Chain A
Amino acid sequence: AQSVTQLGSHVSVSEGALVLLRCNYSSSVPPYLFWYVQYPNQGLQLLLKYTSAATLVKGINGFEAEFKKSETSFHLTKPSAHMSDAAEYFCAVRPRRTGKLIFGQGTTLQVKP
């Protein structure tokens, strides 16, 4: 069965520092991959998605993610953290032959001034 693992339930960075949130998937066939962000008391917003067009995917708010098949990873990065980036981030997979979006456990990003 498809699964997705986010390493680190809590990540803390200083404002202006690099943000790196890790995501690994388990599948013999690369699924479609997504990153969502959830701000406090809000719904989930799509940050970016990998759909096999390009391995480096750019999203909203300066985030990007790189798909690495050899590492079964889809890590999310941002060169310089902003206070407004503090939120919960979810990696998700959607197998190519089903419609079910499966989420990782989530990573809380804290940004310190």
Chain B
Amino acid sequence: DTAVSQTPKYLVTQMGNDKSIKCEQNLGHDTMYWYKQDSKKFLKIMFSYNNKELIINETVPNRFSPKSPDKAHLNLHINSLELGDSAVYFCASSQGFSGHLTYSNYGYTFGSGTRLTVV
């Protein structure tokens, strides 16, 4: 019954490895997001997909590649992991865009996060 689910919850890996985090939502939302929360708890948006189309791509190293096979799933793949990638990554969804109409009065529903530790 979880609305936005992420896997895995914890991920410990060595520098240089490639890893993926998966996210699924069952709310029927058309927009999904990845946020990064750093050690000071600051939350910064990384990517957003609306109906499988990339609509927000913040200044993120191109080692990070999101993939959305359908509007209910948004995965994050990270190549050549670095120590600075250690953080908590949150997936979220919302009813975002529909053509030119935005539903900005909706909040986002967040997953429980994936704590990535690069050693």
Q: Which residues of A are in contact with B by a Cβ distance under 8 Å?
A: 31-32, 34, 36, 38, 42-46, 49, 51-52, 88, 90, 94-103, 105-106
Partner of B55, one of A95, A99, A102, A103: A99
* Nearest A residue (CB) for B10: A41
A99 touching B90 by the CB < 8 A rule? no
B102 touching A97 by the CB < 8 A rule? yes
* Nearest B residue (CB) for A45: B110
Chain B contact residues (Cβ within 8 angstroms of A): what range? Answer: 20 to 34
Q: A44-B90, A99-B31 are in contact. Are A90 and B104 (CB under 8 A)?
A: no
Partner of B112, one of A36, A42, A94: A42
8 Å CB contacts to A: which residues of B39-79?
Answer: 40-45, 48, 50, 55-56
Residues of chain B contacted by A36 (CB below 8 angstroms): 107, 110
B110 touching A44 by the CB < 8 A rule? yes
Most A Cβ at <10 Å: residue of B31, B40, B45, B110: B110
A46 touching B45 by the CB < 8 A rule? no
5 tightest Cβ-Cβ pairs between the two chains A and B: A51-B105, A43-B112, A103-B43, A99-B96, A44-B110
Most A Cβ at <10 Å: residue of B50, B107, B111: B107
Taken together as a complex, chains A and B put the C-alpha atoms of A45 and B112 apart, in Å, by 9
B45 touching A106 by the CB < 8 A rule? no
A101 touching B41 by the CB < 8 A rule? no
Residues of chain A contacted by B4 (CB below 8 angstroms): 43
